[in-house]
Homo-oligomer: A and B are copies of this chain.
């Protein structure tokens, strides 16, 4: 068995639960947030810093690692753990999300409901058939082919503890019929991934990905179909709607159809409020680039709902502010540096500023998840959500 999942506590007033995933590279306490190391590095941070701040698992992007430095090289170097110096659990996505992002431009934003399809979408960059997806590299324009089998083969070369099925990402605007057609093809691809995985056994866990867009009967059909296959865990993927409310509805309509004994991963979501609300819907695992992306742009996460938990460190009032980014945070940044110094580092465009805010943001979400787990164990998760959100 490459992965086990134990449920340690079940909230009595929501679907939230606390669990422990065991992988060949150690335990993961759930609900968990995993920082994203797109290209074999959680941007600007070392594995030691992540570990010291309670990170249990990180995510790597197969699409990027396949194009550069290539999964063969990573395999030759002993796998991604060895290559990047992270000895804890790793999850890789299948590459599907990034490949299809090329078609629709900012599909990430669109799927999360932040904006409509990119006006400069480049359909010629990707060709989809029943068998494969043909796409061009964002680095040099060279042509590449992904099949479900190829995605799993690449992920086996990279060597993550948890790998994901290759799926098609239809845009939110696809409509019911196109979403259903795409979902059924994705189901066939996931079956092919599973078969290839079973025929080429490794010490890796394979997760399925539920599709069906915003349509409840499709989400149910997808969840039930995938539950009939021997996956080690379930992701919720595909279009999650036009806004946060619809995304939360999609999650809430999907989790009841997923088996309780498997961990559930909501792909690509990481805002403070989304973490709280979706844990209540039964999500166990999250990933998002937001803590490091916000860090690079000088936005620090803080315990202040009235600011949507965000502080722009470039703001002038921080110039002589001797306090830490967040007064309750025990991360390295908050224990050593003032807002004034971090403000100055960003004004002076010094790299250390990016490091310090990225580290703080990761630590902030890790702490939030730790506190969330504790509140579930102590049967006060509803009160905990209310403290953070001001609403249930």
A interface list, Cβ under 8 A from B: 39-41, 43-46, 48, 68-69, 73, 76-77, 83-85, 319-320, 322, 336-338, 340-341, 344-345, 347-348, 350-352, 354-355
Contacts A44-B351, A46-B352 given; does A340 touch B39 at CB 8 Å: no
Neighbour of A340 across the interface among B68, B73, B337, CB < 8 A: B73
CA distance A41 to B320 in the complex (A): 18
CA distance A355 to B320 in the complex (A): 28
Q: Which B residues are in CB contact (< 8 Å) with A46?
A: 336, 352, 355
CA distance A351 to B296 in the complex (A): 10
Neighbour of A320 across the interface among B77, B85, B337, B347, CB < 8 A: B77
The reply to whether A83 and B348 contact each other, CB–CB distance below 8 Å, is: no
Interface centre among A41, A76, A337, A345 (most CB of B within 10 A): A41
Contacts A322-B77, A336-B85 given; does A351 touch B354 at CB 8 Å: yes
The reply to whether A341 and B44 contact each other, CB–CB distance below 8 Å, is: no
Q: Which B residues are in CB contact (< 8 Å) with A351?
A: 43-44, 351, 354-355
Taking the nearest CB of chain B, how far is it from the CB of A111, in angstroms? 25
The reply to whether B319 and A45 contact each other, CB–CB distance below 8 Å, is: no
Contacts A77-B340, A85-B337 given; does A69 touch B347 at CB 8 Å: yes
Taking the nearest CB of chain B, how far is it from the CB of A289, in angstroms? 14
Q: Which B residues are in CB contact (< 8 Å) with A39?
A: 348, 350
Contacts A77-B320, A340-B73 given; does A43 touch B350 at CB 8 Å: yes
The reply to whether B336 and A43 contact each other, CB–CB distance below 8 Å, is: no
The reply to whether B345 and A41 contact each other, CB–CB distance below 8 Å, is: yes
Specify the chain B residue showing the minimal Cβ separation from A341.
B83
Contacts A83-B341, A341-B83 given; does A352 touch B45 at CB 8 Å: yes
Specify the chain B residue showing the minimal Cβ separation from A353.
B41
CA distance A338 to B322 in the complex (A): 39
Q: Which B residues are in CB contact (< 8 Å) with A320?
A: 73, 76-77
Q: Which B residues are in CB contact (< 8 Å) with A354?
A: 351
Specify the chain B residue showing the minimal Cβ separation from A76.
B320
Q: Which B residues are in CB contact (< 8 Å) with A352?
A: 41, 43-46
Q: Which B residues are in CB contact (< 8 Å) with A338?
A: 77, 83
Neighbour of A344 across the interface among B43, B68, B336, CB < 8 A: B68
Q: Which B residues are in CB contact (< 8 Å) with A85?
A: 336-337, 341
The reply to whether B41 and A340 contact each other, CB–CB distance below 8 Å, is: no
CA distance A373 to B356 in the complex (A): 35
Taking the nearest CB of chain B, how far is it from the CB of A320, in angstroms? 6
CA distance A327 to B374 in the complex (A): 46
CA distance A348 to B74 in the complex (A): 14
The reply to whether B340 and A83 contact each other, CB–CB distance below 8 Å, is: yes
Taking the nearest CB of chain B, how far is it from the CB of A384, in angstroms? 33
Contacts A69-B319, A336-B85, A337-B85 given; does A344 touch B40 at CB 8 Å: yes
CA distance A69 to B314 in the complex (A): 13
Taking the nearest CB of chain B, how far is it from the CB of A169, in angstroms? 24
Q: Which B residues are in CB contact (< 8 Å) with A348?
A: 39-40, 68-69
Specify the chain B residue showing the minimal Cβ separation from A73.
B320
